Structure 1
Amino acid sequence: MPEPAKKIAQTLGPGSLKFGKTGAETEFASKVTKATYDPGYSEAETTPMLDGSDFKPEGDWNGGKISGTFYQDFTLAGLEAWCFNHAGETMPFVFTPKTGQGNYKISGECVIKPVSIGGDPKKTNTADFEFSVLGKPRMEATA
């Protein structure tokens, strides 16, 4: 009897996206429709050496960005108001693409930016966010 096929891909979620210090963080997950961490890693250029070999220094972690889309609720407790009120602040973040044992979370620090507010009348509106990540974040196992 053949072995069952191994899972080669997973869906995003259920997961978590938190900003702020542990114990006082703001959870974005319940309103987020898209979440992405882009590492922003750039490779260094290769330099030819006198002996004919090539030297390639380690690349550069420019931090990257944590971005996504969330639903606006037009209240002072909404995420768009939270982004507006914390704009310019450096905050810790934890992005867990999929909860559960054997999966991972990415954590680091980012700079909060305000988002666009509004949209089409009589429609459910969303806002896109993009926060710059400072340095190289950590990737750790989830509990």
Structure 2
Amino acid sequence: MAIKRPPVALGPGTLTFGTVSVDMLDISCQVTAAKVTFDSDKEDDLPTLCGGVLAGEKNYTAKLEASAAQDIEKDGLIDWTWKHKGQEMPVVFVPKNGEAAAINGIVVIDPVEFGGEVKKRNISEFEFDFVGMPVFTPDATADSTEYPPLPEP
């Protein structure tokens, strides 16, 4: 029997940068969207004399893309990213609290934009490049891999 996997709804979860001992920033309650994306760069294939082909190497890069409500607090999103621009910081992205799934890695902090429309809640969209590859820890609990049984008619 095939394993049935329920679709995932994002949240409530967490998105934190740094560590408790090194300038931690928790923007979980400001985040309106978050995802990890990948880009790839493939070298050209090389034809060989015998008629074969040596496949070009493929390299991957990853980034954290997010949208978050701006704040003007000391050590808040804007202040923290501006102070730590260019620094490598640990990141932990937990898409759903209570589940084991998480993404851990190191990102390079870029300053987040500030400002927007008058009399509107301003949202900053930003991307932070991962240093190397992030690590995905899947949720292997029974409730994450099967739908609950349907009620009998």
Counterpart amino acid of residue 78 in structure 2: E
Q: Does 1:81 align with 2:79?
A: yes
| Counterpart in the other structure of 1:131 | 128
CA RMSD of aligned residues (A): 2.5
What secondary structure sits across from 1:118 in the alignment?
coil
Counterpart amino acid of residue 105 in structure 2: G
Alignment partners' CA distance in 2, 1:142 and 1:27: 22
Residues 47-58 of structure 1 aligned to structure 2 (within 5 Å): 47-58=46-57
Alignment partners' CA distance in 2, 1:139 and 1:39: 13
Structure 2, unmatched stretches of 5+, are: 141-153
Match of 1:70 among 68, 89, 99: 68
Structure 2 vs 1, CA of residues 64 and 57 (structure 1 numbering), >3 Å: closer, same or farther? same
Structure 1, unmatched stretches of 5+, are: 1-5
- Number of aligned pairs? 138
Structure 2 vs 1, CA of residues 44 and 8 (structure 1 numbering), >3 Å: closer, same or farther? farther
Aligned partners of 1:21 and 1:92 also within 8 Å: yes
Aligned partners of 2:77 and 2:112 also within 8 Å: no
Alignment partners' CA distance in 1, 2:131 and 2:79: 23
Q: Percent identity?
A: 35
Aligned partners of 1:18 and 1:26 also within 8 Å: yes
| Counterpart in the other structure of 1:119 | 116
Counterpart amino acid of residue 59 in structure 1: K
| Counterpart in the other structure of 1:3 | none
Q: Could you tell me the TM-score, scaled by structure 1's length? A: 0.80
Deviations 1:62-119 (A, max 9, x none): x321121111122224211111111111111112223344x52221111101111112
Q: Could you tell me the TM-score, scaled by structure 2's length? A: 0.76
